[in-house]
Amino acid sequence: MNFKNTLEFAQELDEQDELKHFRDLFYIPIVHGKECIYFTGNSLGLQPKSTQDYVLNELEDWASMGVEGHFHARNPWMPYHEIFPNQLSKIVGCLPNEVVVMNQLTVNLHLLMVSFYQPTKTKYKILCEAKAFPSDQYALESQVKFHGFEYDDAVIEVSPRNGEHTISTEDILQAIEDNKDSLALVMFGGVNYYTGQVFEMKQIANKANQLGILVGFDLAHAAGNIELHLHDWNVDFACWCSYKYLNSGPGGVSGIYIHEKHATNTDLQRFAGWWGYDKETRFQMEKGFKAIPTAEGWQLSNAPILSMAAHKAALDIFEEAGMNRLQTKSKQLSNYLFFIIDEINKSFTESLIEIITPRNESEKGCQVSILMKNKGKDFFNALCQHGVIADWREPNVIRIAPVPLYNTFTDVFQFGKILQHLLQL
């Protein structure tokens, strides 16, 4: 498509957008009396207007029924988590029995590593991306220490080449090959939180599979953002949070995926709790853990229903929009953002903004990270003053994520106008 840097053009794209009415389903934060340009759906997705009703229903059922709500609430609490696999399996690309919603992300990462990081004296290393999200780094660090290894020896980080911001897929595949005899696990992000780089999960999983190495992904920045086919890619396990692209509220519940070949293996090592126990006999409350032969077998506790209700409100919207339509719009929105930034750069004698997110279609999602040459936090603060909610990362990167459910092409255009104006000051 030939983009144009005009308001009329952006408005025309919005007019033609099949998903345009979805924006009305969300509360858009107000800044200086006006709807802001919200570009932080990658950090905390906006609140659906329906969420309050979903949560209120559960509060009402609790008020009127007390413990009976476990069986008689409008959405009975006991099997509440069973609502999700159908919808989530379409979002992450797997079978319903491979997914369950439980706990929070870092907790789940640890629980999954209990099952999928079982190092031996010779095969004990983990391959990951350099500068992964800090919580993931700490999880890996404490896991290798727990097994008696040192971080610097046991964790191999793949870095960008000199002078580059993103990690070449070739280098990742080569690192797996080079360390094939000592690797117990390949554990990568699906999308890097800083650069927005989408890692080529299919190729990474394929390489690890060929060499008999387990492979897992942290999909915090991928779930609800990019197309995923976890089952077909033969990924062993994955986890994600629900409060970023999945709009399920601050600190919302997390989801996990476990490939069917492992999920059905009730002998697989895990840390167990009663909610993962065989449903037929759970309430006989006998000794000796008997796992449910699906991803549900990893659940520990009964579900946090208020948070689950918020998740349900958000996923019902995803279901209606459909991942295919969301993907199409998402690509168009981020391509428009690339175009607008290129136009701004062209209007100055030297380019003032470096886009560090890959341009290649298979390596980007919603998020575009821009490095502001010669600009500091003051510049970012000025953007906020103009009604843009984006995200600043030291030393000089701004992360911008136009999301297809509620952002518009006009948001992207207006953002460009503000950026241009501030750069001219």
Ligand X SMILES: *Cc1c(COP(=O)(O)O)cnc(C)c1O
Nearer to ligand X, 139 or 370 (CB): 139
d(CA 385, CA 377): 12
- Shortest approach of ligand X to residue 358 CB, angstroms? 18
Q: Measure CA 181 to chain center.
A: 31
Mark 240-259 with x for binding to ligand X (rule: CB under 6 A) and - for no binding. -x------------------
Nearer to ligand X, 92 or 422 (CB): 92
- Shortest approach of ligand X to residue 148 CB, angstroms? 25
Should residue 39 be labelled a site residue for ligand X when binding is judged by CB under 6 A?
A: no
Stretch that binds ligand X, among 129-137, 319-327, 334-342, 403-411 (CB under 6 A): 129-137
Nearer to ligand X, 110 or 231 (CB): 110
Nearer to ligand X, 42 or 414 (CB): 42
- Shortest approach of ligand X to residue 109 CB, angstroms? 7
- Shortest approach of ligand X to residue 113 CB, angstroms? 13
Stretch that binds ligand X, among 89-97, 131-139, 278-286, 360-368 (CB under 6 A): 131-139
Should residue 195 be labelled a site residue for ligand X when binding is judged by CB under 6 A?
A: no
Number of residues that bind ligand X (CB under 6 A): 12
Should residue 189 be labelled a site residue for ligand X when binding is judged by CB under 6 A?
A: yes
Should residue 369 be labelled a site residue for ligand X when binding is judged by CB under 6 A?
A: no
d(CA 322, CA 316): 10
Mark 136-175 with x for binding to ligand X (rule: CB under 6 A) and - for no binding. x---------------------------------------
Matching residue, tokens 């103009």: 386
Stretch that binds ligand X, among 72-80, 98-106, 206-214, 417-425 (CB under 6 A): 98-106
Sheet holding 183-189, edge to edge: 99-102, 254-258, 237-241, 214-218, 183-189, 125-129, 155-158
Stretch that binds ligand X, among 32-40, 99-107, 316-324, 355-363 (CB under 6 A): 99-107
Should residue 193 be labelled a site residue for ligand X when binding is judged by CB under 6 A?
A: yes
Q: Of the candidates 58, 218, 236, 296, which one interacts with ligand X according to CB under 6 A?
A: 218
Nearer to ligand X, 133 or 409 (CB): 133
Should residue 221 be labelled a site residue for ligand X when binding is judged by CB under 6 A?
A: yes
Nearer to ligand X, 92 or 341 (CB): 92
Q: Which two tokens stand for residue 258?
A: 């476990």
Should residue 133 be labelled a site residue for ligand X when binding is judged by CB under 6 A?
A: yes
- Shortest approach of ligand X to residue 107 CB, angstroms? 7
Q: What are the CA-CA distances from residue 125 to residues 167, 169, 316, 398 (Å)?
A: 20, 19, 40, 33
- Shortest approach of ligand X to residue 242 CB, angstroms? 9
Q: Of the candidates 89, 106, 225, 408, which one interacts with ligand X according to CB under 6 A?
A: 106
Nearer to ligand X, 5 or 195 (CB): 195
Which long-range contacts (C-beta less than 8 Å, at least 24 apart) are formed by 106-110? 106/135, 106/136, 106/138, 106/139, 107/254, 108/239, 108/254, 108/256, 109/135, 109/136, 109/139, 109/218, 109/239, 110/139, 110/143
Should residue 104 be labelled a site residue for ligand X when binding is judged by CB under 6 A?
A: yes
- Shortest approach of ligand X to residue 71 CB, angstroms? 31
Residues that bind ligand X (CB under 6 A): 104-106, 133, 135-136, 189, 193, 218, 220-221, 241
